[in-house]
Structure 1
Amino acid sequence: MAEEKLLLDFDKKEYSNELLVSLYLKMLKPRLIEEKMLILLRQGKISKWFSGIGQEAISVGITSALRKDEYILPMHRNLGVFTTREIPMYRLFSQWQGKANGFTNGRDRSFHFGTQEYNIVGMISHLGPQLGVACGIALGNLLKNNNKVTAVFTGEGGTSEGDVHEALNIASVWNLPVLFCIENNGYGLSTPTSEQYNCKNLADRGVGYGMESHIIDGNNVLEVYDKVNRLAESIRQNPRPVLLEFKTFRMRGHEEASGTKYVPEELMQHWGLKDPIENYKEYLIENGIFSVEEDLQKRSIIKADIDSHWQRANEEEKIQVDLDKELKDVYKTVDFKEILPEKSSKELRLIDAISEGLKEGMRKYNDLVIMGQDIADYGGVFKITEGFVSAFGKDRVRNTPICESAIISAAYGLSVNSMKAIVEMQFADFVSSGFNPIVNLLAKSHYRWSQSADVVVRMPCGGGVGAGPFHSQTNEAWFTKTPGLKVVYPAFPADAKGLLLTSIEDSNPVLFFEHKALYRSVRQEVPEGYYTIPFGKAALLQEGNDITIISYGAGVHWVLETLEKYSEINADVIDLRTLQPLDIETILSSVKKTGKAIILQEDSMFGGIASDISALIMENCFRYLDAPVKRVASLETPIPFEPSLESQYLAKNRFEKELQDLLKF
């Protein structure tokens, strides 16, 4: 033991004995909770457990060094973060049992939760996006000039993810006040570090990002606390990112069912001798700072407290199943107040109307930040944000590195920090690189822990411009089937401006589709000033009794062009405008009147929105129908660039015949 103690060289520096003892008790508490949980796990009273035994010094040291109003983003093995932030134990126990006093209403387990009350943002299993969220929170702090630090945890295994690289790069480029804390505990589940990376130390990567980095003994709570405390004080005065690698070890399995048979016994013994709590306790006792009697007394008190809180959580009733609540909580309730347009108007192209909408939103919300590739001085590839830097400044109109995933995660972080964000995908096709945080983070956030994701993702999309397979998709169907997202797809300039402002007002994540072929080809009188248009309200462009025609985006214009050729066709023409929420009432009411329905979409057929609308009509209007519901869509191929091939691909050229055939049925 004497040799190993040299490896844990405790140096109290100027810190008081009171602080030193408090650090010990803060480590002891999660250790004793864990020991209780392992017993309960074997008894079948909890379902799963991710153990942080042996890593308590990191969680406790970092959390103790940060202020309570500074955000921490922990992972599975960071129980010490939650207990050091003094979350009542019964609430943690309720969370782990899926009860109402927890933080997710039984919708997520273990440490998959956040709480604004304690400034903690819980993890998602995809790991990497966590660091991007921290970047967004830190950006918010930087813009607010509030001298706060953000700390985010990941493991050495998680550092293999591309999102981690993206987040580190963003933080360095933007000089964000964030501590990136890598708990290098030897294994990612069963994969050893030798199979995760091929450098000696993960901290060495800091050089590549132009970032300060440090290696810290993660089992030495005084070293952790001292280093983080000094860095945090420095970062508050001189904002910058710092990469920290904490050397430690995972003494239990990835989760208890995994076991540790794959770990060499000598390695377990070595790290067992370096136990952060036992070594630190011996140091305190040997130096007369703490006594054996005090230790026994404190342990007894903590254990009794744990048992009391466990009993309270155990006696709590199981969560009440409430279908209405489940459905309602997918989205944050928005108190929408329609702002009517001014009488004055001017003719604008679709692209100009979107630009005007963005300007109005930026003027109204000083905490709104626009992010995207080349959107600042260059004005974006479509010049929609041209002149925005001179109007709103580079802090709020931010060029980003090419890293869609981390930027969307950062936008979410801004929302966590009570700000608004708009992210421009240079092309809607590129959203695939940011798909994970949209569908797994933004979409699920409010349902999981009541945290809104106040983010608009602008999606320049669509064919007809010879841009080929990587720049021409209209991929709304990727998102309309994901609960928690709203999907907007205007066809006209006036709608685009009003719906964009509604999107900015909304506290839920919105995918805002803008058809590139309409940018400069469609003009309309657009009201001046600030106005909103409600989501879930389609526009009835023409009225008739022969047939119901349903479309959105460029498809609406294809419909109107076709009908100009056939003045005898008396049709209801419905422009959906928003796909989620969908104006089902207008659709069904029209079909019940006309008895026939045709749905036109630019996307390929299978799995598209037209299929769902067709099913809704069949389920609700079957006895009113005089013909089968007809869907018209583009070919089941990627979209080609050569004009004749692209023309063949698009549904536009098949719509006229399908419409005539249905009318004749």
Structure 2
Amino acid sequence: MKYNGEGISVEMQLELFRRMLKSRMIEEKMLILLRQGKISKWFSGMGQEAIAVGVVSALMDDEYILPMHRNLGVFTSRGIPLNRLFSQWQGKASGFTKGRDRSFHFGTQEYRIVGMISHLGPQLGVADGIALAHKLRKEKRVTAVFTGEGATSEGDFHEALNLAAVWDLPVLFCVENNGYGLSTPVSEQYRCEHIADKGVGYGIESHIVDGNNILEVYRKVNSLCKSMRKDPRPVLVEFKTFRMRGHEEASGTKYVPKKLLEEWAEKDPIQNYLAYLHEQGFLLEQEEVAIKKEYIHEIDDNLKLAFEEGEVDFTESIELGDVYQKNLYQEVIPKGDDHNVRLVDAISEGLRQCMERHDNLVILGQDIAEYGGVFKITDGFAGLFGKERVRNTPICESAVVSAAMGLSLNGMKAVMEMQFGDFVSSGFNPIVNYLAKVHYRWNEKADVVIRMPCGAGVGAGPFHSQTNEAWFTKTPGLKVVYPAFPYDAKGLLATSIEDPNPVMFFEHKALYRSIYQDVPKDYYTLPLGKASLLKEGNDVTIVTYGAGVHWALDALENQPEIKADLLDLRTLQPLDMEAVYKSVCKTGKLLVLQEDTLFGGIASDIAALVGEQCFESLDAPVRRVASLETPVPFARSLENHFLPKERFVIALNELLAY
């Protein structure tokens, strides 16, 4: 292996060695502990140390880096205390996830490191969002994100590269091509000659680097970062390397030809570099021994601290309390006049006022800039706030959700518009596995609102009519809001944007232009988790939300003899069950109405909770009414019977007669 130290100081050349050696020695210790059963799992980066160390050494300390399993050198080179790393791997409380996640599945704002999730791909889009925040603030910073050759087959990889290219984001995409995705060789993963060719396809500058040559890695990345800070743009670097051990230790390496292992063993990045340093006279043998002794003591001392720490304690209130970031609701009462507006107008007005109130708020979505969105919610916003903050996106929901998470990580707020709520399935993974879990895992907020135009009754068929809130109400870490009136929509949207937790904000398309209400012109907020009692009576309790509220109001207007408590839930997570219990204890009868199909919907949970908590107050079985167990049909005659409006009236009268 040939080394060229030209332009790199001797001090830096020695520091690069120290950083690689430290990573290797920690790994060697971890493998011993793994065999002793003192840690549960290990993903080895032996033979790949030059990549992690070279990249992080070329970055400034305040530049974000998003590493993966085999990038121990990122964490150690950033100076993370070893006792905390060791505690993390043992599931101890002083680790970065309080025992809630393992290995490198964590982040730390203090060290500007954002760890991976097992689904790999979303972190590439997160890097886009972090870089976008830097660019919006005109900060000359680079964001580096790692992935392996296996994840370059994921859609998130392609979405993130395309998004970064379109927006000229200063993201350094670092692909460690180590030969195998678990046991699948690269010959079975892609047909192009090099992964770098994929970057070229997206108009991205791409390079191939010998990932085992620390000086080549450092020189190239350092040069690229300096250039990217001056001229913001994405760059893809494919690091050619090899995985000397299994995907994780239990996998082994039997599937790798012995000759191939022997060839790459000769390219060991540390042994070859050490020989070079000795040849140049930069490092004497006794100095090498002294460095190793120093690291042995540091590793042993910090392991002792980690081992002495007790097992993490379980406290139910703490576990539940850490699912969401604590948020003190601040009531804002409007002072000005009201005006009579449609639901669509109230949402647009509320969003505009939030943009005026928060200069760090960015709206992301398809066709939302000049076109104003398919429902014209953001019509005129590009002229008011500029296309930097009102950003048209390519059709890539997963990358955009991830980018919204990245904006939040880097101090911004994000509102993403799903063009139709149905399309959220294309961005499902980062919502339920990244946004929802990030605070519980490592105490990080996800300051993201995802707007969800939803609902049937407009003849839009199976792919533009779903009310899929149940996908999210069962996911701890998400908040779910579903208003039925303009007044509620505007106030709840403001509160959702103020909230540092991820919020799924459902907006029923059939109500957009059919429901009018007097709404304050000023900015105001409404609390999440508070149902609205629209009608009062002693005969029955009706609990519903969204379009169901208006179906219930119509039924009660047509049958004025029915005296019902009508509860509009408004938010589904948090859910105001206290209001439901109070009403049921008064009336003794409950009917829960939802537009979603019946099985597995929120009506089922409400019915179960009332059965558990209010059984002695019930005078009849709880009734649930919902749409048919079919996809949403297109033809009006089919859709009318799919929806539960008529079945609701029948069920209501049957319940009253029980």
Length-normalised TM-score, structure 2: 1.00
For residues 490-547 of structure 1, give each alpha carbon's deviation from its aligned partner in whole angstroms, at most 9, with x where no partner exists. Answer: 0000000000000000000000000000000000000111100000000000111110
Matched with 1:341 is: 334
- C-alpha deviation, 1:642, in angstroms: 0.3
For residues 15-57 of structure 1, give each alpha carbon's deviation from its aligned partner in whole angstroms, at most 9, with x where no partner exists. Answer: 1111100000000001000000001111111110000000000
Matched with 2:493 is: 500
Matched with 1:208 is: 201
Matched with 2:126 is: 133
Q: Distance in 2 between matches of 1:554 and 1:597?
A: 18
Matched with 1:181 is: 174
Q: Does 2:40 match 1:47?
A: yes
Matched with 1:509 is: 502
1:116-131 to structure 2, matched below 5 A, reads 116-131=109-124
Matched with 1:151 is: 144
Q: Does 2:626 match 1:633?
A: yes
- C-alpha deviation, 1:342, in angstroms: 2.5
Q: Distance in 2 between matches of 1:470 and 1:321?
A: 43
Q: Distance in 1 between matches of 2:645 and 2:161?
A: 45
Q: Does 2:292 match 1:306?
A: no
Q: Does 2:397 match 1:404?
A: yes
- C-alpha deviation, 1:344, in angstroms: 1.1
1:556-571 to structure 2, matched below 5 A, reads 556-571=549-564
Match for residue 470 of structure 1 among 453, 456, 463: 463
Q: For the Cα contact (< 8 Å) 2:336–2:522, is it kept in 1?
A: no
Secondary structure of residue in 2 paired with 1:663: helix
Q: Distance in 2 between matches of 1:520 and 1:290?
A: 75
1:21-420 to structure 2, matched below 5 A, reads 21-420=14-413
> Could you say what the CA RMSD is over the residues aligned between the two structures, in angstroms?
0.5
- List structure 1 runs of 4+ shifted beyond 3 angstroms: none
Matched with 1:539 is: 532
Secondary structure of residue in 2 paired with 1:599: strand
For residues 53-102 of structure 1, give each alpha carbon's deviation from its aligned partner in whole angstroms, at most 9, with x where no partner exists. Answer: 00000000000000010000000000000000000111100000011111
- C-alpha deviation, 1:206, in angstroms: 1.7
For residues 409-467 of structure 1, give each alpha carbon's deviation from its aligned partner in whole angstroms, at most 9, with x where no partner exists. Answer: 00000000010000000000000000000000000000000000000000000000000
- C-alpha deviation, 1:343, in angstroms: 4.6
Identical aligned residues as a percent: 68
Matched with 2:601 is: 608
Match for residue 516 of structure 2 among 523, 530, 537: 523
Q: Distance in 2 between matches of 1:253 and 1:317?
A: 31
Q: Distance in 1 between matches of 2:529 and 2:655?
A: 27
Q: Counterpart of 2:356 in structure 1: which amino acid?
A: R
Q: For the Cα contact (< 8 Å) 2:323–2:476, is it kept in 1?
A: yes
Q: Distance in 2 between matches of 1:278 and 1:581?
A: 57
Secondary structure of residue in 1 paired with 2:436: helix
Secondary structure of residue in 1 paired with 2:522: coil
Instruction: In structure 1, list runs of 5 or more residues that go unmatched.
Output: 1-7
Q: Counterpart of 1:153 in structure 2: which amino acid?
A: F
For residues 623-646 of structure 1, give each alpha carbon's deviation from its aligned partner in whole angstroms, at most 9, with x where no partner exists. Answer: 001100000000000000100000
Secondary structure of residue in 2 paired with 1:21: helix
- C-alpha deviation, 1:152, in angstroms: 0.1
For residues 639-662 of structure 1, give each alpha carbon's deviation from its aligned partner in whole angstroms, at most 9, with x where no partner exists. Answer: 001000000100112111110110
Q: For the Cα contact (< 8 Å) 2:91–2:102, is it kept in 1?
A: yes
For residues 93-138 of structure 1, give each alpha carbon's deviation from its aligned partner in whole angstroms, at most 9, with x where no partner exists. Answer: 0000011111000000000000000000000000010100000000
Q: Counterpart of 1:662 in structure 2: which amino acid?
A: L
- C-alpha deviation, 1:341, in angstroms: 2.3
Q: Counterpart of 1:69 in structure 2: which amino acid?
A: D
Q: Distance in 1 between matches of 2:404 and 2:160?
A: 12
Q: Distance in 2 between matches of 1:174 and 1:259?
A: 42
1:452-463 to structure 2, matched below 5 A, reads 452-463=445-456
Q: Distance in 1 between matches of 2:139 and 2:554?
A: 55
Secondary structure of residue in 2 paired with 1:380: coil
Q: Distance in 2 between matches of 1:624 and 1:26?
A: 68
Instruction: In structure 2, list runs of 5 or more residues that go unmatched.
Output: none
Q: Distance in 1 between matches of 2:118 and 2:129?
A: 19
Secondary structure of residue in 2 paired with 1:148: coil
Secondary structure of residue in 1 paired with 2:614: helix
Q: Counterpart of 1:448 in structure 2: which amino acid?
A: R
Q: Counterpart of 2:340 in structure 1: which amino acid?
A: E
- C-alpha deviation, 1:390, in angstroms: 0.3
